[in-house]
Chains A and B, each alone.
Chain A
Amino acid sequence: MDGAVNASSRSVVFDLARQELRDLNKFLHGDLRGVGSVTVENPDGANSIAVGINAPVMVEVNGHAGYYVAGMNQGGTVVVHGNAGPGCAENMMSGRVEVTGFASGGAGASAHGGLLVIRGDAGLRCGISLKGGDIVVGGDVGSFSGFMAQAGRMVVCGSAGEGLGDSIYEAVIYVRGTVTALGSDARLEPMGEDDLRVVGKLLADAGMSHLPSEFKRIASAKTLYHWNADANLTY
């Protein structure tokens, strides 16, 4: 069953207090021509809200979401007016996902593209295995964030926990606050002109106002890029 369609504004409302999550997701996977926006009421922490979007649709979730909200998003804009559970926007391909509250572990995991904005804190393993997406976090990120991140940028306006950027590849992490500990093969590097421009652009896209010069750059020291027979398994 489709949600209630408002003909004049082409907006659709799904109330998860009386409609099935599966119907919302089926609707989002269907023909969305002419649909401007979809509002989800009473999400009540349901899992897998708005996963697999493949259209430039706007989805607003009015409340807290559970696991995997906006996972695999391709081209959609999803705003969670609340907190998000584990794995929000995981494997995003493109588009934009915004969480106004905090996000649990694994936010933006494996994202290939698009922008994930978290206004509050992000839990552990934010941006793990990032593959080209961008993540801007207004607050802190938990431990092991950016683990094995291959491409993309993370901008952390607060502080980072332990093991930041462990075994990172070509992704770059920018942190404004303190870093409890860098992970293996991650190192602090000077901020260049490009870094200042990138951070400024991402902060502007996220609607956050900090000075780019307040951020530190963390990237790969590339000591793990090649097998070193002399390392004697001391990695």
Chain B
Amino acid sequence: MCGIVGLLLKNRALRPQLGELMVPMLIGMTERGPDSSGMAVFTDRVAVGDRKISLYCKERNFAWPSFEGLLRQHHGVSRCEIKVNHCIVTTDSDPQQVREWLAREFPAVHVLSVGRSIDLYKDVGLPAAVADRYAFKRLSGTHVVGHTRMATESAVTPENAHPYTAGEDWCLVHNGSLANPGSIRRKLEKLGSRFESDCDTEGACRYLHWRIQSGDTLETALEHAFEDFDGFFTFLMGTENKLAVVRDPFACKPAVVAETDDYVAIASEFRSLAHLPGVKHAELFEPKPAEVYSWTVQ
């Protein structure tokens, strides 16, 4: 079992409150996922030549200030925000070069996400504890994809927590499990994908990203996924300007959507939406199986 939550703000005036609205949604799904949780927050885009890179280090005593010093010496860094054991860097260096430099010089530092819009946080612990640790309440932005995890097929570790990312400004969270993650993984590894965890969801995330990079739309990529994924899933996905949800053809895992003029909110269960302003008058529905629903930031 796991919990998924997503929120896209249509009303610009609410964007500074994105975190404040989202945290109760995340905490509402604690019973579905008490092991770990995470959030991908999509903010206003940085400049065309810049990229934001979200970093994570498992070591609690990692010397982030000296890391920042060395990072700034070797790469063009305009912002470096350290939050506990996460760090969000804005750089005009090639993200691939930064990645390679990190792998060489700081192998304990993992890249969680890259993009012009996405910031990513994930860690083990109760959702309330993770939300406090990284001050999720203070986050602002256009949309957010969150997850609470109850591990079923891989260990409880920060790297096995969701959201997963691939490429730039793309993330996915998953409620459910896949029975053929190994074959998906082997297929993608042959095509050059590098995996960083042993969670089945990483395969789903990289598979869909690979299809979209190969020319599919999200809809056609998911059509292929219905053929190639053996298992059950509700996926919630974020791109720099979209929030999308899909349930497997048997709709094994729940999802409910609340839409108002101000926002679109998605959660595994309504109890994560009950606190949202105006939800009593929201249009409520459950996504139909095997149908792709997406909303675009205006």
Contacts and interface: CB of A to CB of B under 8 A. Distances in A.
B274 interface: yes
Interface in A126-149: 142-144
A46 B273 CA distance: 11
B286 A66 contact: no
Contacts of A105: 251, 254
B271 A104 contact: no
A189 interface: no
A44 interface: yes
Contacts of B226: none
A101 B256 CA distance: 13
Interface in B246-298: 250-251, 254, 256, 269-275, 284-286, 288-289
A102 interface: yes
| Dominant secondary structure at the A interface | loop
A83 interface: yes
Nearest to A84: B270
A86 B251 CA distance: 11
A177 interface: no
Interface string A111-137: 000000000000110000000000000
Contact of B271 (A46, A101, A123, A144): A46
Nearest to B251: A124
A142 B271 contact: no
Contacts of B272: 45
A85 interface: yes
Contact of A124 (B250, B274, B285): B250
Nearest to B272: A45
B116 to A, nearest CB: 36
B274 A44 contact: yes
B98 to A, nearest CB: 43
Nearest to B255: A104
B254 A104 contact: yes
A85 B254 contact: yes
A54 to B, nearest CB: 26
Contact of B269 (A67, A101, A142, A143): A67
A83 B284 contact: yes
A104 B286 CA distance: 8
23 contacts: A44-B270, A44-B275, A45-B270, A45-B271, A45-B272, A45-B273, A47-B271, A64-B274, A64-B284, A66-B269, A67-B269, A83-B284, A85-B270, A104-B286, A105-B251, A105-B254, A123-B251, A124-B251, A124-B289, A142-B251, A142-B289, A143-B251, A143-B289
Interface of B: 250-251, 254, 256, 269-275, 284-286, 288-289
Given A104-B254, A104-B286, 12 more contacts: A45-B269, A45-B274, A46-B271, A47-B271, A66-B269, A66-B271, A102-B285, A104-B256, A124-B250, A124-B251, A142-B251, A143-B250
